[in-house]
Structure 1
Amino acid sequence: MPTASPEPETGTPLVEILADAYGLAVVRLARLDGQATVNYRATTADDRVVFVKHYQPGADLAAEEEAVAQTDRAGRHGVPVAAVLPSTSGEAITRRAGTALSVWRWMPGHTVENGFTLAQQAAAGTMLGRIHVAFADHPASSRPSARADHFRTPDLAEREATIDHLLSVIGDLAEPDAFDREAAHTLRERRDQLRRLRDLGLPTLHTQVLHGDYSPKNILFDGDTINAVVDFGPAAPFLTAWELGRIAFDPRRVVRDGDWIVAGTTLVAAYRDANPRLPATDLAACARVALTQLLVSLYGVEEHYLRPGLLQDDLDAFWLLRHRAASTILDHLDEAEDALAQIAGTRLYHPWTENGSPVR
């Protein structure tokens, strides 16, 4: 599970709720890393450890309850998960005086942030295949996905206009710094890359309910074994190839590992063995889908110039990492798709010659 902050938090209303609603005599409440929720590791008087999610005001608690149900569904299909611990009255999410929280079994293990080993790649592929098998017959999997339709037809003109605006903002700076110069360079590259993306296209792809955020931060390892998959999302259908390509061709691995194609296809091959029902086209297209996501996103650099975040330095680094990954995948897409074709047994149409020019 996530690493605790050095200073424990005690004496909060959460401690009272944990005692009243769960019968937990908490003696230590240590805050953990989290994004949508404020998370804690709670230790009880009898040395029991649990994971606590504190939902923020305005959170969609119906969606959060659906995410709990998805976690339970995955667990019933053999996926190791951190099970929710219901309150003494049977609630998955407890609401008390404007405070909402859930309690989960504490799972041992650690995340791997700087690139999986090949054995971990294979384990991650196998586990994602099991998750997709578990969710394939969910009633929501047969519903249309407006998000998938939007993904297939991105507004590239709008993205290019945003790039032009950002370049104009940078151009008006009296004293541009090193990041400004690098941002201008990467934005000009991205504008050219979007023009190449126009020629690429995506085939018809499968949609179903997914994990929602199957990424290194939500996979807990013990060595090369996965101890738990955490933070499932609600049951919303989207492109299966998106979730597969996103983890197989994780930007950190692409940028830092010269053998990223081998690593990515190792994961995809393990996934195929665990979920042989996924159409071959989706396997073959997963790198292209991952590339499309990277290319149409300006997250990080857009925030820097239009709406800076509290951790903007991290967002700047995030932009540069993802841009490098997008550039690498784009420049080697034919090689990646040749390798994927060997696994899928089918080859996607590729509109470029070796020098990156469109085929006429």
Structure 2
Amino acid sequence: MSGDADAIVVAGILALLYRITPTAVSHGPAGTATRNYLAEDREGGRWFVKAYPPGTDVAEERQALALGETARRAGVPVPAVRRTVSGDVIASAAGLSVSVAQYIADAQTAEGGLCGGRWAAVGEAVGRMHRVLASHPAGPPRPVAARAVCDVARAGRRLEELLARWEAAPPSPGGFAAWCTHTAEQRRAALPEVAARLEKLPATLMTQVVHGDLASPNLLLRGEAVAAVIDFRPPGHRSAAWELGRIVLDPRTVLARPDEWIPGLARAVGAYRAANPQLPAEDLLAVPRVAAGYLACSVYPLSEPLNDPASVTPALEAYGRARHEATGVLWERLDEAEEVLHDVLR
């Protein structure tokens, strides 16, 4: 049993409120805002325990867990949530709130990138998820202006604010913060060209209830299959094309698979369309342009050295540089990617 004070509290909560008698509680994979633990019970069962920080909106987290359960009932591979003895999905005691879910063994996050049969498997899983979430009580799919999905004006304001902050507190030369400043300047200068490229998007794109945070750490793979989709956010409308592109055109995949990402994207989009024929073809055709535009309009992680210096790790630095490089690759090969998608979507 870990000597961590919270781990001891977690063990007590499991025994008292979940009727799980843990024989071991250890630290699990790091979360963005949560502390995660792995627990093993007397029968050999393994559980993933998420401990929420103080101030967390527990009601919103309940909605997020419920959204995942909705997808699970439709066949999307989402870990089963363990309920407390009173039927709740979140338990609170001794100043700590936790949720408990089935542990997914022998799986890897998608941070290593997509390849082979993974493209189609991921496209099918996301399509199935979007198909079922389209009927969520939070509201049906609805169109929004494409400029709201990739908001160049907002990006300009945020970059101006960020550069003003860097000017007030100049970074030391040569480090990641200096790279962030230089990259923010480049990104601001490129916005007129980005805006011109985004003019070729459809006037509107469909939004609907989506996962909300479908980044590579939240997609677990086992071989060429999707093992689990995790860490849903509360129900909210976002562009379905944006969410699909975010996961299948992850910067690390684009850079690691220079000869594969375009045919891989085609396989993912084809599998998505087979699973969710309701999304208009023009939205699917827009996936690579939206992905490139969204990256070009983002200030993450350029703002992290100022907003959260403790979060700046070598892994974050590498990811930030990969995002920037992948944006250029996506723009450079955009016509080719769209031509291939045209053939898929005929």
Query: Shorter-chain-normalised TM-score: which range?
Result: 0.7 to 0.9
SS in 2 for 1:244: helix
Residue range with higher mean Cα deviation, 139-148 or 43-52: 139-148
Provide Cα deviations, 1:224-258, integer angstroms capped at 9, x if missing partner. 12222211221111111110111121111112221
Residue 94 in structure 1 maps to residue 95 in structure 2:
no
Q: Which whole-Å CA distance do the structure 2 matches of 1:279 and 1:54 have between them?
A: 39
Provide Cα deviations, 1:103-152, integer angstroms capped at 9, x if missing partner. 11122222232211120111000000000111111121337799987434
Deviation at 1:19, TM superposition (A): 0.8
CA contact (8 A) 1:32 1:39 kept: yes
Partner of 1:248: 248
Q: Percent identity?
A: 36
Deviation at 1:221, TM superposition (A): 2.0
Structure 1 residues without counterparts, runs of 5 or longer: 1-5, 346-360
> Structure 2 matches for 1:6-85, cutoff 5 A?
9=4, 12-33=8-29, 34-85=31-82
Q: Which whole-Å CA distance do the structure 1 matches of 2:227 and 2:71 have between them?
A: 14
Residue 258 in structure 1 maps to residue 258 in structure 2:
yes
> Structure 2 matches for 1:226-245, cutoff 5 A?
226-245=226-245
SS in 2 for 1:47: coil
CA contact (8 A) 1:8 1:30 kept: no
CA contact (8 A) 1:126 1:274 kept: yes
Provide Cα deviations, 1:163-219, integer angstroms capped at 9, x if missing partner. 65377469x66x622656654553443233212112123320111111112232222
Q: Which whole-Å CA distance do the structure 2 matches of 1:217 and 1:180 have between them?
A: 24
SS in 2 for 1:299: coil
Partner of 1:333: 334
1:297 aligned partner, one-letter code: S
Instruction: Quickly say closer, same or farther: Cα 1:288–1:166, change in 2 above 3 A.
Output: farther
Q: Which whole-Å CA distance do the structure 2 matches of 1:308 and 1:74 have between them?
A: 33
CA contact (8 A) 1:111 1:218 kept: yes
Instruction: Quickly say closer, same or farther: Cα 1:23–1:147, change in 2 above 3 A.
Output: farther
CA contact (8 A) 1:26 1:43 kept: yes
Deviation at 1:162, TM superposition (A): 4.1
CA contact (8 A) 1:214 1:247 kept: yes
2:302 aligned partner, one-letter code: V
Q: Which whole-Å CA distance do the structure 2 matches of 1:246 and 1:185 have between them?
A: 25
Q: Which whole-Å CA distance do the structure 2 matches of 1:286 and 1:156 have between them?
A: 19
Q: Which whole-Å CA distance do the structure 2 matches of 1:145 and 1:284 have between them?
A: 16
Q: Which whole-Å CA distance do the structure 2 matches of 1:230 and 1:182 have between them?
A: 32
Residue 205 in structure 1 maps to residue 205 in structure 2:
yes
CA contact (8 A) 1:115 1:252 kept: yes
Partner of 1:355: none
Provide Cα deviations, 1:251-297, integer angstroms capped at 9, x if missing partner. 11112221221222221111111111110111011111111210111
Q: Which whole-Å CA distance do the structure 2 matches of 1:148 and 1:237 have between them?
A: 14
Q: Which whole-Å CA distance do the structure 1 matches of 2:141 and 2:124 have between them?
A: 26
Provide Cα deviations, 1:316-343, integer angstroms capped at 9, x if missing partner. 3222111101111112211121122222
1:283 aligned partner, one-letter code: L
SS in 2 for 1:24: coil
Instruction: Quickly say closer, same or farther: Cα 1:196–1:102, change in 2 above 3 A.
Output: same
2:48 aligned partner, one-letter code: F
Instruction: Pick 1 or 2: higher relative contact order, CA cutoff 8 A, min separation 6.
Output: 2
| RMSD (CA atoms) | 2.6
Instruction: Quickly say closer, same or farther: Cα 1:265–1:22, change in 2 above 3 A.
Output: same
TM-score, normalization: structure 2? 0.88
CA contact (8 A) 1:52 1:103 kept: yes
Partner of 2:157: 158
Deviation at 1:156, TM superposition (A): 4.3
CA contact (8 A) 2:180 2:303 kept: no
1:118 aligned partner, one-letter code: G
Q: Which whole-Å CA distance do the structure 2 matches of 1:55 and 1:178 have between them?
A: 33
CA contact (8 A) 2:47 2:100 kept: yes
